[in-house]
Amino acid sequence: MPASEPIEEEPVTATLCDWVTSLQATDIPPHVLQRAKHLILDGLACGLVGAHVPWSEKCLDAIDSYEPAGYCSVLDSSKQYGPLAAAILNGAYIQAVELDDYHSAAPLHSASVILPALFAAAEVHSQDSQRQPPPDSPQPPPPHRPRISGRDFLIAAIVGFETGPRAGAAMYGADLLSRGWHSGPIFGCPAAAAAAAKLLGLSCEATESAIGIACTQAGGLMAAQYEGMIKRVQHAFAARNGLFGALLARNGYLGITKVFERPYGGFLAMFSQGNGRQPAYQLDRVTAGLSQVWETMHIRVKLHACVGGCHGQVEAIEQLQRAYPARFARERLGQVRRICVALSEPVFAHDGWAPTVRPLTATGGQMNAAYIGAAQLVYGQVLLEQFEAAALDDDLVWELIRKTECVHSEEFDRPDHLCGARVAVEFADGERVEQTVAMPRGFDPPITDEEIQAKWQKLVQTRGDSHRMQRLEELVLSLEQLEDISDLLALIRG
């Protein structure tokens, strides 16, 4: 197609931006507001723990070696940087240990995209309010900007929670993942931009520019899952990109307009190329059900420290272990002859690969179905300890990995079943047992708010300072009542 003025489509980008700028707390059902607070709490828990794993500390060391000090907070750190660097670190921390949320239909980790952008945007706003010109400057002082309240922060977070999955649904959800793109850093760019624009009070037109600037930076390769550390940072790219878009647009910098609907060089058109679908993308899904269907309620909370697509597999093995305790006793696992794991097409493409290098890195282990299943069989859980060096090189784990075959089964390609699995285990004496989990825990019914609070308390007890953690929990769960979120930002720093 020539690089001429594109065919006009429905103005979905402008429609989305109008919804973003006009959304008020009274438009949001109370149960959605309540859930969003718990998703924020869960993201904070993951970030406070994730800040202290080796790859996060290495990321901080690298950034600290070249990035000048600034005024934006970093989770559980006395360090402060400029807004873009702070967003990268906070996003990397929340995604660091694979315990953060995920949206199963349009895969992305929302908290690692939205919270870093909002933390930094709030502090940019605060800094602007405090900045004064030199005494001899002809410039007048900046106009007074009202403080950002907890209610403002909560509404902006919901804007992000709603935008990311809709951008993903327009590209058939998990299809990007099947084709080797890291979907979250792509869908997350417009989500972070919309959230930051809402918090900063941008106009509809400026919000459209912010989203366009964010979308032109989108990317992320799923080959990052096999080794190395960069997979932990890729959702943070989206947080940074969206924040950057909002900060430029706030000063009148013009971005791409109609970025969703442009057929030549548009966001959906380009990332849908080569998918073989008709139509290649579903433009109407960007705005479908706004203020009627709340995607915030479809964000899943993890109970296992691994890729969300393998949670059904973990739970199928858990059920087999409970049903046949003698068969699955650790000392009898040598009698296992073969393990077959049936997965949806996106999860099989993402996680069904056969390991060829021993040991796997922690990243590789958390993204590999054969390792995840073997860890559950040997240790009876898939938590942070299962991705430490001793577990990653355990002889029994590797014996079971070599006996595991992952296959694609179309039964799990149905909507809401992408994270399901069927596990069949054959033993040396010929006995065969099988278990299917159509949808892992957290789908229907979802993980409760009380379970999220229990997860918070379990994770943050490793950080000590129980008084600070209790106060953080109280502030997050009463966000609507906060007149100023500065106390919350001070607490995340510690």
Residue 454 lies in a domain: no
Q: How much is the pLDDT for 494?
A: 81
pLDDT of residue 137: 60
Looking up tokens 């007890």 gives 461
* pLDDT score at 444: 73
21 and 45 within one domain: yes
Q: Would you say residue 445 lies in a domain? A: no
Is residue 3 included in any domain, yes or no? no
Q: What is the pLDDT of residues 61-112, one digit of tens each?
A: 999 999 999 999 999 999 999 999 999 999 999 999 999 999 989 999 999 9
**Cα–Cα distance between 57 and 382 in angstroms, integer?**
23
> 347 and 275, same structural domain?
no
86 and 185 fall within a common domain? yes
Whether residue 154 is found in the same domain as residue 204:
yes
Establish if 448 belongs to a structural domain.
Answer: no
Q: What pLDDT shows up at residue 332? A: 97
Residues sharing a CB contact under 8 Å with residue 379, sequence separation 6 or more, in sequence order: 385, 386, 391
Q: Does 6 map to a domain? A: no
Q: What single letter denotes the amino acid at residue 387?
A: F
For the chain, list residues with pLDDT below 50: 1-4, 6-7
Q: Domain range for residue 268?
A: 12-133+145-303+459-493
pLDDT at residue number 1: 42
Q: List the one residue out of 220, 216, 261, 260 whose CA is nearest residue 242.
A: 216
Give CA 230 to chain center in angstroms.
15
Residues 120 and 153 occupy one common structural domain? yes
Structure tokens at 320: 């087999």
Q: How many Cβ atoms sit within 10 Å of the Cβ of residue 207? A: 31
Domain match, 321 and 468 both: no
Q: Are residues 463 and 429 in the same domain?
A: no
The CATH code of the domain that includes 380 is 3.30.1330.120
Token representation of residue 215? 């979308």
Q: Could you tell me if residue 1 is inside a domain? A: no
Per-residue confidence (pLDDT) for residue 358, from 0 to 100:
96
How long a stretch of residues is the chain? 494
CB 33 within 8 A of CB 155: no
pLDDT score of 144: 59
If asked whether residues 203 and 289 sit together in one domain, one would say yes
How many domains does the chain fold into?
2
Shared-domain flag, residues 312 and 423: yes
Q: Is 361 in the same domain as 389?
A: yes
SS3 for 72-141 is EECCCCCCEECHHHHHHHHHHHHCCCCCCCEECCCCCCHHHHHHHHHHHHHHHHHHHHHCCCCCCCCCCC
pLDDT of residue 442: 84
Distance CA 125, CA 198 (A): 12
Determine how β-strand 404-408 pairs with β-strand 336-343. Answer: parallel
Asked if residues 118 and 36 have their Cβ atoms less than 8 Å apart, the reply is no
Q: State the virtual CA torsion across 354, 358, 364, 365 in degrees, nearest 10.
A: 90
pTM of the entire predicted model: 0.93
Whether residue 399 sits in one domain with residue 268:
no
Whether residue 451 lies inside any domain: the answer is no
Is residue 291 located within the same domain as residue 322? no
Q: 100 in a domain, yes or no?
A: yes
User: Taking a C-beta distance cutoff of 8 angstroms, is the pair 146, 246 a contact?
Assistant: no
pLDDT of residue 138: 60
pLDDT value of residue 2? 43
Q: Which residues of 349-383 are buried (b: 16+ CB within 10 A; e: fewer)?
A: bbbbbebeeebbbbbbbbbbbbbbbbbbbbbeebe
Burial class (CB in 10 A: 0-12, 13-18, 19+), 201: middle
Give me the CATH number covering residue 121. Answer: 1.10.4100.10
